[in-house]
Structure 1
Amino acid sequence: MSATIYLIQMTTSCNALENVEFVAEQLAKLPAGGEKLVCLPEACLAFNRSIVENQQLAENHLHWRARYAELCQTYGVWLAVGSMPVPAADGRYYAASILFNREGKAVAEYHKLHLFDADVSDGTKRYRESQGTAPGQHLEVVDTPFGRIGMAICYDMRFPSLFQQLRKAGAELILVPSAFTTVTGAAHWEVLLRSRAIETQCFVIAAAQVGVHQNGRETYGHSMVISPWGTILAEVPKDVTTLAVELDFTELQRVRQAMPLPEHSRFAEQLI
């Protein structure tokens, strides 16, 4: 089996309508026919300046879900919305990654488990994602025409136990939409993604934000697709563009058969 995957690298603004229209423009350029999975980066709906702005988006999340669903129906694509705010019970919002099928039905929704509360030597310096964002409570793995997809978001990639659980749940592809800082990206982006692919023997699909944003953040870019052997199959460094790659699942089968890591692990039963 093979599958065609598209990653849209974005420099998302604070204007949600503008960002959705940009995605529509990119979808209109894709070739007609066939099953297509299009992956958007973290904060693809809007990369806002404040918690209040994100809360307003979360309150209106049904409207934006409907807009993404319409894009799927219009262009006949599966669409992985990297993240958008949706309401949480405690008054904060979840960073929700939502997978829509070509009919516009949401077939999976993952809420970011690990929140970026860190200090970085860049222009922002102090990140406290948990002030506005509530942590998710569940894993998400779903069957699709493109294989069994596991879902993660950005900072999640620093926690290999999550990825081991996705593999244990049957994941063959793992989506990691991201908005990595330029400092942490230069240091860790590639090595983390390749490590997660090698450890899980999964394809890792990482659509990224890039450039200087209206909210003052600067993101690393380098959207990439990595094979179960850890090979970078495709990458786009700094451009705002769409990256296309065809995945060959015979490689996944070959890698897993040649080196059956779950069977060899002496810690598998200890994973929660």
Structure 2
Amino acid sequence: MKIAAIQMVSSSSLADNLAVAENLVDEAVHGGAALVLLPEYFCQIGLHETDKFEIAEAFGEGPIQACLAAKARQHGIWIAGGSLPLATTRALKVTNTTLLFGPTGEVKARYDKLHLFSYLDGTRDIDERRTMVAGTDMVTAQTEFGRVGLSICYDLRFPELYRAMQQVDLILVPSAFTQTTGRAHWEVLLRARAIENQCYVLAAAQGGTHANQRQTFGHSMLIDPWGDVVACLPQGEGVVIGEMSQARLRSVREAIPALKHRRIPGPAAIAL
């Protein structure tokens, strides 16, 4: 089966971003994709970190979710909606949420980002905790592609999340990595997650300069269970598409049955 990651350079305009996302989903489907992943913040990267409150939706309601559901139904595909802000009971706080829509437009899984990003280098001060509530649960979903694990951006740095998923066939990583962290760590982290979990990793990124002058790294890519990069788009809007093969999964897992060999060490011994 073919799967696709969409790369965007999202603006502060919800309407414009949804229009771009719809066109790129259509492009991915025309290329044969049966599952499409959008990037983190695909619906908006605002001028201010509080802009997300203006577009936040209740779960199951609103134009962002309606757009994703309609596209999934139109093409009969799976769509993972990158991330969107969902309202919470806490004032001025939202969740950063991936919704996985099935081919008939229903939500099959919801994942709220567990690890909230912060970065301070003297010129930039990013802290998602100011406007977001962290999720609490690891989430996987069963599809015709196999078992799919959900994660978002900064989660990529925490391998224990992916180990908790047990054996999955595909990991989704919608992201908006900065230029600085992306150049240093993006590909090596993605390839590590694919190798250690012996599964495909599909990563959809933001890739360009946004209205708030934030620069995102791009390099949306598909990685196979051996850690090979199947396809990659360095910068700009577009689609990354490639094959997901069950035969390739079996071959890698049979060659090195690392998941079966895994052992959990006991408590550290006290040296005498």
Does the TM-score normalized on the shorter chain lie above 0.5?
Answer: yes
Distance change in 2, residues 1:241/1:258 (3 Å)? same
Query: Pairwise mapping of residues 197-208 of structure 1 onto structure 2 (< 5 A)?
Result: 197-208=194-205
SS in 1 for 2:17: helix
Tell me, yes or no, if the aligned pair for 2:21 and 2:42 is still in contact at 8 Å.
Answer: no
Are residue 185 (structure 1) and residue 182 (structure 2) matched? Answer: yes
Which residue of the partner structure matches residue 43 of structure 1?
A: 41
AA at the equivalent of 1:172: D
Q: CA deviation at 1:119?
A: 1.7
Identical counterparts, % of pairs: 39
AA at the equivalent of 2:36: V
Tell me, yes or no, if the aligned pair for 2:6 and 2:240 is still in contact at 8 Å.
Answer: yes
Distance change in 2, residues 1:30/1:190 (3 Å)? closer
Tell me, yes or no, if the aligned pair for 2:29 and 2:75 is still in contact at 8 Å.
Answer: no
Are residue 253 (structure 1) and residue 254 (structure 2) matched? Answer: no
Q: 1:156-198 CA distances to partner (integer Å, 9 max, x unpaired)?
A: 00001111112x1x31100000000001101101101101111
Structure 1 gaps of 5+ residues are none
Tell me, yes or no, if the aligned pair for 1:6 and 1:39 is still in contact at 8 Å.
Answer: yes
AA at the equivalent of 1:140: V
Are residue 233 (structure 1) and residue 230 (structure 2) matched? Answer: yes
Q: CA deviation at 1:152?
A: 0.5
Q: 1:207-253 CA distances to partner (integer Å, 9 max, x unpaired)?
A: 10010011221100000111111111111111311111011111111
Tell me, yes or no, if the aligned pair for 2:4 and 2:37 is still in contact at 8 Å.
Answer: yes
Tell me, yes or no, if the aligned pair for 2:6 and 2:25 is still in contact at 8 Å.
Answer: no
In 1, distance between residues paired with 2:220 and 2:228? Answer: 14
Which residue of the partner structure matches residue 152 of structure 1?
A: 151
Q: CA deviation at 1:52?
A: 3.1
Distance change in 2, residues 1:233/1:141 (3 Å)? same
TM-score by length of 2: 0.91
TM-score by length of 1: 0.91
Number of residues paired by the alignment?
264
Q: CA deviation at 1:107?
A: 0.4
Which residue of the partner structure matches residue 18 of structure 1?
A: 16
* Alignment RMSD: 1.9
AA at the equivalent of 1:202: C
Q: CA deviation at 1:113?
A: 0.4
Which residue of the partner structure matches residue 81 of structure 2?
A: 81
Identify the range of structure 1 (237-246 vs 153-162) with the bigger mean alpha-carbon deviation: 237-246
In 2, distance between residues paired with 1:174 and 1:19? Answer: 24
